[in-house]
Copies of this chain bind each other. A is one copy, B any other.
Amino acid sequence: FNIVLLPGDGIGPEVVGQAVRVLTAAAQAEGANLNFNEQLIGGCSIDKFGTALTDETLAACQAADAVLLGAVGGPKWDDPQAKVRPEQGLLGLRKGMAVFANLRPVRVHPDLISASPLKPERLAGVDMIVVRELTGGLYFGQPKGREVVDGIERAVDTLVYNEEEIRRVVRMAFKLAEQRRKKVTSVDKANVLESSRLWRKVTAEVAAEFPEIELENMLVDTAAMRLVASPANLDVLVTENMFGDILTDEASVLTGSMGMLPSASLGADGAGLFEPIHGSAPDIAGKGIANPLGTILSTALLLRYSLKLPKAAARIEQAVDQAISDGLRTVDLGGKLTSQQMTDEVIARLG
């Protein structure tokens, strides 16, 4: 298998470096060999090549079996009005790899419930997966730009979806639901947006293909409340790109242990882009203390979804669970372990 590594900026190289050790060991334990090819993306790519994503990096990612990314961005490249920005690398990669579905499992280990901002009784039983559409909507819709009319500047972004873009991501959510609690919550703003009314129509059509799965439609403002008020009632949640950006972050902060959460961005052909949900954390970059578990758990998703090695994936997930149960903690969770020490502990538990 050919894996492209995109360590990126800030703590990205540290957590990717550690995670690769776990990924290699778990794959080997199942008899699989991995080739790694490292490329630049984000701020480091801007510094070297003047662009956040070179054609060469994109081509390598398109040809690979899977891509593991750390994080992009940092104060050095932080001006949103700048022409060249790190996150363009990420957006270009998503579009270029056609990874239209971003999956974020949100679970919390029982021993970590105390880190949550929520009362324990609200968090107990939380086990959801948020499926965010990733290559459409306001992020990529045209026209998009600014103009001055009669001396007044105006700016336009366009939210556009066609039924195929909706169908493929909603279908993925329903397929995930088959393996879980058999319920999909589709989030939209159908009382205001035309795109949401189309979303709701297509979602109803997909639901008819899955008679054993229950479909619940929820308005995005209601979803923002339910995530905080009763997160344990949510199982598979599916929504468009911008709503997903907001709701996935809201969902992940509920756990209080964002450094542990992985994500997978999947396309039609199994190719995928895997990354922790945390950012580049410039404040702790270079110190070797970042929590590597979000990236390590992302390699488990990589093994499961792109390499179809579910046993290797389960080895990693069980090893991480065990390490937490054994009381091992990095600094962000009140412990003292370095990234490397935590990773050693996970490897020791791979079985």
Contact = CB atoms under 8 A, between A and B. Distances in A.
Which of under 10, 10 to 19, 20 to 34, or 35 or more describes the interface residues of A? 35 or more
Nearest to A250: B224
A21 interface: no
A29 interface: no
B117 A192 contact: no
A222 interface: yes
Interface in A82-105: 85, 87, 91
Given A117-B118, A161-B154, A164-B152, A139 B192 contact: yes
Interface in A220-267: 220-222, 224-225, 227-229, 242-243, 245-250, 252-254, 256
Given A117-B118, A155-B197, A160-B155, A87 B192 contact: yes
Contact of A85 (B191, B227, B254): B191
Contacts of A155: 160-162, 193-195, 197-199
Q: Which of A87, A116, A145, A243 has the most CB of B within 10 A?
A: A116
B228 A245 contact: no
B163 A91 contact: no
21 contacts: A80-B197, A87-B192, A116-B119, A117-B229, A119-B119, A139-B192, A152-B163, A153-B163, A153-B198, A155-B194, A155-B195, A156-B195, A157-B195, A221-B246, A224-B249, A224-B253, A225-B249, A225-B250, A228-B253, A229-B256, A246-B246
Given A138-B193, A221-B249, 18 more contacts: A80-B196, A118-B119, A138-B192, A144-B194, A146-B197, A155-B198, A155-B199, A156-B160, A157-B159, A157-B160, A157-B193, A157-B195, A189-B245, A224-B246, A225-B250, A225-B253, A228-B254, A250-B250
